[in-house]
Amino acid sequence: MLHKPAVSAKSDLAIAFKTRIGIYIFLAYTAVYIGFVAVNLMAPTLMAKNIMFGLNLAVVYGFGLIIVALILALIYNHLCARREKQVN
């Protein structure tokens, strides 16, 4: 029995756009993450301060990083899907 792809793959006409957007989003997330690391290095006691709902800055910032990553992934998906529709 031969295993073949379900659909044939065509060349991706939006690859340059996807790459550029991916790099920009990566750099944006990297900047946010560097802020997290910088606070930990320069003012580690600040991370222990309660910010909201009894949670300290480390927990809030950590959840914030996860939420930002998910939002950036949704933005990337939306922009890439829109570009693929334009070029196809």
Q: Is the pLDDT at 87 greater than 70, yes or no?
A: yes
Higher pLDDT: 19 or 1? It is 19
Q: Is the pLDDT at 67 greater than 80, yes or no?
A: yes
Q: Is the pLDDT at 66 greater than 80, yes or no?
A: yes
Banded pLDDT at 10 (limits 50, 70, 90): confident
CA contacts within 13 A on the Cβ side of 51: 14
d(CA 22, CA 15): 10
Mean pLDDT of 16-35: 97
Domain ranges of the chain: 19-87
pTM tops 0.75: yes
Strand partners, 50: 56
Q: Is the pLDDT at 6 greater than 90, yes or no?
A: no
